[in-house]
Amino acid sequence: MNGLIKLPVESGARRLVLIEIVLPVVLLVLGIYAGLLQVLFRAGVIQAAEFGGWEYYQGLTLHGVVNAVVFTTFFAVAFGNALVPYALGMRLPLRWAWVSAGMMIAGTLMAAWAILAGKASVLYTFYPPLMAHPLFYIGAALLIVGSWIAFFNWIPLYRRWRREHPGEKTPLAVVGIFATFIVWLIATIAVAIEVVVLLIPWSLGWTQEVNVPLARMLFWFFGHPLVYFWLLPAYTMYYTMLPRLAGGKLYSDKVGRLVFILLILFSIPVGAHHQYTEPVISSSAKLLHAFLTFAVALPSLITAFTLAASLEYGARQRGARGLFDWIVKQPFFSMDAWLFSYLIAGLIIFIMGGISGIINASYSMNVVVHNTSWIPGHFHLTVAGPVLLAFLGMSLHLLVSYSGKQLRLKRWAVAVPYLWLVGVFIFSWGMMRGGLHGEPRRSNLGMSYLNPDSPFYHPEWKLFVTVTMIGGIIMTLAMILYFAVFFTTALSRRSGEAAAEFPLSEAYHDEPAGALANFRPWLIAAVILIAIAYTPMVRDVLRGTFNTAPGYEPHNPAPVQQMEGELDTPTVEPE
């Protein structure tokens, strides 16, 4: 885009951001391949033996951990390392930034080894009693602590900026990134307790059993805000960049701040909506979390209207007339503002992702869809919709600006998000319809549902698993195009000076931030809300009677034989 403010970046910062962007995109190749295998396997096109040499849970773990945890965490840190100094007009302090990157890379390599060696087939939720090799948990802990260090490294920078700019509003982009990492910091404290106190000693054999309900509660204390940790960087792009890419202004700066603060308030005390069907937790605690889940949808509803108003304003500047002309007058295929295509395609997908989320949140509807393939249908419309596309678009943008290279294969780059949109809608339709017909979310029986020898033989699901597979193949094609664009650009010659540049928007209504100017009171309110929502759950979990279990490893036949002796019919594996 023309007319952007370019700020020079020193070579250390340039190298750091490029490593944090390129490494996860390389790993994403593996994650996407594992996803393709899943749809082919579910549709009965390949059998367990052809599963890339992996076991079913191993492939699914790789898919979830690489795509949803490693790629997203690296991206959020790289994006913050680039955007925070840019928006504040300062230099990134490099020493701790490198320590953070080093820890994240070491942690990723440890966890990747454990997964690829078949010693950590525990999925991205690593629910006990599924047990992983200690290096998987230690690797996850390093990745998380590394990302905390990146955040702590921005705080002195921000403090200095505040001293030097008294009375000025914190740039909205910085508010967005700080909201992302405040949510992350609070949420990861719970998973750190789970991993360090419960899982590492258990996987090292120092303790024989683990308190399953307690571990699950701690996981979901983290697991729900995790999804907003994914969403918030995308929201930062929507609020601070999308309006300018659309040729207009953000409709209201204050609403952007309100949305970020509301997400800090409500994204944590809602974990029980993942546990509606679990015993031990009382229904009153679940009800409270259900109400709060509706509250967490509110900032996204506000976002829908604010962004629509911003897009409409931009289109009217370019001559749109009447009621609906502004919708078609968006720069969907602009080669100049190509990042727009990634953001708008994600937003369109999120309309369906949001509706399905609100369905999940209702207790009675959740009982119908929980643990069925409806749920992956929902989350591919959210994390693999607005989040993935915004992250892919911004990764390309950072690659181009931080390397001083030109974007190659531009037409393909613009086609990727729309191809992905078509693929993910088809995929999710298959998954969600299948889920409504009872198709499980996952099973570890080594056979597809279309194999007559499978205890889960369900020929009536053929339509759904086949549609899912078609969607999955289209999504894979979109990603092949993306990788072609990304690596062709990365390997091309440098054509200009590397510099930081972001298409930051002005606001149409640029009011003073008022009560939203300071994070502190909202942080206190968030902690109080968490205490109210989680005290009854902690009480329930500590009172629960069925609370400890020995470890179970899907690739280790011993516990399975033991189970076979005890059970007449095969069952769905634990989540």
The Cα–Cα gap between 154 and 80 comes to 8
- Residue 499 phi, psi (nearest 5): -155, 155
Catalytic residue among 51, 74, 228, 427: 228
Active site residue 216: no
Residues that bind ligand HAS (CB under 6 A): 125, 227, 230-231, 273-274, 293, 296-297, 300-301, 303-304, 307-308, 311, 327, 330, 344, 347-348, 350-351, 354, 357-358, 360-361, 366, 370, 375, 378-379, 382-383, 387
Question: Tokens 């017909």 — which residue?
Answer: 437
At 509, which helix (H) or strand (E)? strand 507-509
In whole angstroms, the minimum distance from the beta carbon of 283 to ligand HAS comes to 15
Between 61 and 360, name the residue whose CB sits nearer to ligand HAS: 360
Between 224 and 405, name the residue whose CB sits nearer to ligand HAS: 224
Catalytic residue among 313, 441, 482, 534: 441
Between 244 and 370, name the residue whose CB sits nearer to ligand HAS: 370
Active site residue 555: no
Catalytic residue among 74, 124, 379, 425: 379
Between 18 and 298, name the residue whose CB sits nearer to ligand HAS: 298
Active site residue 133: no
Of 234, 239, 263, which is closest to residue 253 (Cα–Cα)? 239
Active site residue 274: no
In whole angstroms, the minimum distance from the beta carbon of 214 to ligand HAS comes to 18
In whole angstroms, the minimum distance from the beta carbon of 287 to ligand HAS comes to 13
Catalytic residue among 244, 274, 378, 433: 378
In whole angstroms, the minimum distance from the beta carbon of 14 to ligand HAS comes to 29
Q: Which residue is nearest to ligand HAS (CB)?
A: 354
- Given a contact cutoff of 8 angstroms between Cβ atoms, the answer to whether 198 and 210 are in contact is yes
Active site residue 95: no
The Cα–Cα gap between 157 and 75 comes to 20
The Cα–Cα gap between 496 and 474 comes to 35
In whole angstroms, the minimum distance from the beta carbon of 139 to ligand HAS comes to 20
Query: Other CB atoms closer than 10 Å to residue 565's CB: what's the count?
Result: 7
Catalytic residue among 380, 397, 402, 425: 380
DSSP-derived pairing of the beta strands 548-549 and 499-500: unpaired
The Cα–Cα gap between 79 and 96 comes to 16
The Cα–Cα gap between 172 and 209 comes to 47
- Given a contact cutoff of 8 angstroms between Cβ atoms, the answer to whether 455 and 445 are in contact is yes
- Residue 548 phi, psi (nearest 5): -125, 155
In whole angstroms, the minimum distance from the beta carbon of 461 to ligand HAS comes to 19
In whole angstroms, the minimum distance from the beta carbon of 572 to ligand HAS comes to 14
Between 91 and 442, name the residue whose CB sits nearer to ligand HAS: 442
* Those residues with Cβ within 8 angstroms of residue 159's Cβ, 6 or more apart along the chain or in another chain: none
The alpha carbon dihedral of 272, 277, 278, 280 has a sign of positive
Active site residue 63: no
Between 236 and 293, name the residue whose CB sits nearer to ligand HAS: 293
- Tell me the residue ranges of DSSP E strands in 163-287: 210-211, 250-252
In whole angstroms, the minimum distance from the beta carbon of 71 to ligand HAS comes to 13
Question: Tokens 């909205």 — which residue?
Answer: 172
Between 383 and 465, name the residue whose CB sits nearer to ligand HAS: 383
Give how far Cα 295 sits from Cα of 101, 116, 222, Å: 35, 40, 18
Between 117 and 351, name the residue whose CB sits nearer to ligand HAS: 351
Question: Tokens 């996987």 — which residue?
Answer: 203
Distance between start and end Cα atoms, the chain: 46
- Residue 390: alpha-carbon gap to chain centroid: 11
Active site residue 441: yes
Catalytic residue among 15, 408, 442, 555: 442
**Active-site annotation, residues:** 224, 228, 378-380, 441-442
